[in-house]
Amino acid sequence: MFHKEGYKIILISTIILLVAILTIDKFIEIDWLRMSISMIFVIFYILVLQFFRDPKRNTIQSNKHILSPVDGKVVVIEEVFEPEFFKDKRLQVSIFMSPLNVHVTRYPMSGNVVYSKYHPGKYLVAWHPKASTENERTTIVVKNDTFGKILYRQIAGAVAKRIVNYAKVDESAVQGADAGFIKFGSRVDLFLPLDTKINVTLEQKVKGGEDIIASL
């Protein structure tokens, strides 16, 4: 199953692959060279398919925990000052996604979307300390009666050039549901209340929509 954000690119890649294979077969007579060039196109095509995959996740919904919004590796767990929305101290949990990870963004909790804003910016590597405030990014805040307000931020990286955000103010968020997509490498930051219990550790690999990041 593939994400809808990849349909156009997958179609174009399929056409390119077919044209390339037919052209190579027609004009290149040396077997090893024909095979080598064909394999390059096939590998590129497979990479495109795997990047836009959208596997089904076994989401266990609960207002008592926060799920990982994305697949990746936990690279930051610390208390920080969040300057955009809360303007006070929060617990930040950051998850880095390589180009090989699933890049679907999922709602970390159910509730109402109270804030959603796009920020143009730079394309520093996603793990750079200033990426959270200087890179192209979107900031989304979801509120419910259990956790109050939590913020998650989609951040473009050095390779990622497009952030897709489906969250709109006053709409309902469903925990684990599709909330957007970041194309080709990126990071997502979560900002949680200070009294939240963190359930992950640094360098831990997590799955979006399944693994519990934090709980009450």
Look up residue 77 and give its two tokens: 């767990």
- Alpha carbons 55 and 104: distance in angstroms, whole number: 9
| CA–CA gap between residue 189 and residue 133 (Å, rounded) | 11
| Residues 6+ away with beta carbon under 8 Å from 163 | 118, 136, 137, 138, 154, 155, 156, 180, 181, 182, 183, 186
Exactly one of 98, 132, 186, 215 is catalytic; name it: 186
Catalytic-residue membership of 186: yes
* Contact status, residue 156 vs residue 163, Cβ threshold 8 Å: yes
Packing angle, helices 7-27 and 31-51, rounded to 10: 180
| List of residues 6+ apart from 33 with CB closer than 8 A | none
Dihedral sign (CA 128, 203, 160, 141)? negative
By annotation, the residues acting in catalysis are: 186
